[in-house]
Amino acid sequence: MTDLTSLTIAEAREGLASKSFTARELTDAHLAAIEAARVLNAYVLETPDRAREMAKAADEKIAKGEGGPLAGIPLGIKDLFATRDIRTTACSKILGNFIPPYESTVTSQLWRDGAVLLGKLNNDEFAMGSSNETSCFGPVTNPWRREGSNTTLVPGGSSGGSASAVAALLCMGATATDTGGSIRQPAAFTATVGIKPTYGRCSRWGIVAFASSLDQAGPIARTTRDAAILMRSMAGHDPKDTTSVDIAVPDYEAAIGKSVKGMKIGIPKEYRLDGMPAEIEKLWSEGAQWLKAAGAELVEVSLPHTKYALPAYYIVAPAEASSNLARYDGVRYGLREPGKSIIEMYENTRADGFGDEVRRRVLIGTYVLSAGYYDAYYLRAQKVRTLIKKDFEDCFAKGVHAILTPATPSAAFGIGEKGGADPVEMYLNDIFTVTVNMAGLPGIAVPAGKDAQGLPLGLQLIGRPFDEETLFSLGEVIEQAAGRFTAPKWW
Amino acid sequence: MSVDATTVRRIAHLARIAVSDAEVPHLQGELNAMLAFVEQLSEVNIEGVEPMTSVTPMEMKKRTDAVNDGEIAEIIVRNAPDTVNDFFLVPKVVE
Give the ipTM of the model, two decimals please: 0.96
Q: What is the pLDDT of residue A2?
A: 59
Q: With CB atoms and an 8 Å threshold, state whether B55 touches A305.
A: no
Does residue B83 or residue A421 have the better pLDDT? B83
Q: Hey, which residues of A are catalytic here?
A: 78, 158, 182
Q: With CB atoms and an 8 Å threshold, state whether B38 touches A331.
A: no
Q: What is the pLDDT of residue A264?
A: 98
Q: With CB atoms and an 8 Å threshold, state whether B16 touches A440.
A: no
Q: With CB atoms and an 8 Å threshold, state whether A333 touches B80.
A: yes
| Cα–Cα distance measured from residue A466 to residue A176, given in angstroms and rounded to the nearest whole number | 19
| Cα–Cα distance measured from residue A187 to residue A461, given in angstroms and rounded to the nearest whole number | 13
Where exactly are the structural domains of chain B?
Answer: 5-41
Q: Which residues of A touch B7 (CB under 8 A)?
A: 367
Q: How many CB pairs under 8 A join A and B?
A: 161
A383 Cβ under 8 Å from any chain B Cβ: yes
Q: What is the mean pLDDT of each run of 10 residues along chain A (491 residues)?
A: 88 97 98 98 98 98 96 98 98 97 98 98 98 98 97 97 98 98 98 98 98 97 98 97 95 98 98 90 97 98 97 98 98 96 97 97 97 94 98 98 97 91 85 97 98 97 98 98 96 96
Secondary-structure breakdown of chain A: helix, strand, coil percentages, each rounded to the nearest 5: 40, 15, 45
A339 phi and psi angles, rounded to 5 deg = -155, 165
Q: With CB atoms and an 8 Å threshold, state whether B81 touches A382.
A: no
Q: Look at residues B3, B11, B10 and name the one whose alpha carbon lies nearest to residue B34.
A: B3
Q: Which residues of A touch B15 (CB under 8 A)?
A: 322, 350, 362-363, 366
Q: Which domains does chain A have, with CATH numbers?
A: 9-261 (3.90.1300.10)
A17 Cβ under 8 Å from any chain B Cβ: no
This prediction's pTM: 0.97
Q: With CB atoms and an 8 Å threshold, state whether B79 touches A384.
A: no
> How far off is chain A from B32, nearest CA to CA, in Å?
9
| Angle in degrees, CA A434, A440, A446, rounded to 5 | 60
B66 Cβ under 8 Å from any chain A Cβ: no
Q: Which residues of B touch A98 (CB under 8 A)?
A: 79
Antiparallel, parallel or unpaired: β A173-178 and A74-78: parallel
> Band of the pLDDT at B1, cuts 50, 70, 90?
confident
Q: What is the pLDDT of residue A1?
A: 45
> Are residues A352 and A338 in contact, defined by beta-carbon separation less than 8 angstroms?
no
| Cα–Cα distance measured from residue B53 to residue B50, given in angstroms and rounded to the nearest whole number | 9
pLDDT in tens, B43-59: 999 999 999 988 988 88
